[in-house]
Amino acid sequence: MTLANLRRELAAAGDPRRAESAVWFFKTGKGQYGEGDRFIGVPVPTLRKIALRYTHLSFADLKQLLASKIHEHRAAALEILVAQYKSADAARRQAIFDFYLANTARINNWDLVDASARDIVGGHLLKRDKKILYHLARSASLWERRIAIIATLKFLKAGRTTETFRLAKLLLADPHDLIHKAVGWALREAGKISPGELREFLEVNYEAIQRTALRYAIERFSPAERKRWLVLKNRARK
């Protein structure tokens, strides 16, 4: 069960038609956020099933996978890292966390972030100092900024909303739509725990919040309340 075996299994599970569709879906054209990314067309459930047979792979092996131009290789590496983190002792978890942060340049599409940041970064920082999240949120890297806000979903699972609202505020003026969506998603989840906090956040920040983020954040509100917030936002833009 070597790295070469894993690559062969992924190649055998690929579908050219699915790969062609992914090239469009993940915005791989020139100047787009996924520029140059290559796909072999492995469905996510199949990829996960294959990857979880290789949780013994070393950091050296995983670094090779993350260095690959093939999206599914990087996705498999992250599935393995998440599985390793969940079963590791404290020392190994620290090593996985450090390895992850050292390789954020290769965690370079939204699905890769979303499949890994919550469990590895959020899980590791749940009971630790969270300053690194604010460093990531101010990064020039789109993916590090998304890692920061997605990591807070782990805190929300534990009923802790503070970091989500603080990081959301920090990212309100972010120029990228992928951050607007992530911020809105995190706010919506925070609102499940504390609807009052979400409404208070929106009252203070509705002028600054991007419309995409607002739409995501208010998804669970009643139709009448959603309309009210969107009207307020429209007025703020005039």
Domain 126-238: which topology?
A: 1.25.40
Residue spans per domain, the chain: 1-115, 126-238
Mind listing the pLDDT tens digit for each residue in 11-56?
999 999 999 999 999 999 999 999 999 999 999 999 999 999 999 9
Q: Do domains 1-115 and 126-238 have the same CATH topology?
A: no
pLDDT band of 78, cuts 50, 70, 90: very high
Contact 178, 141 (CB under 8 A): no
pLDDT digits (tens, 9 = 90+) for 197-227: 999 999 999 999 999 999 999 999 999 999 9
| Percentage with pLDDT > 90 across the chain | 96
* CATH code for the domain defined by 1-115: 1.25.10.90
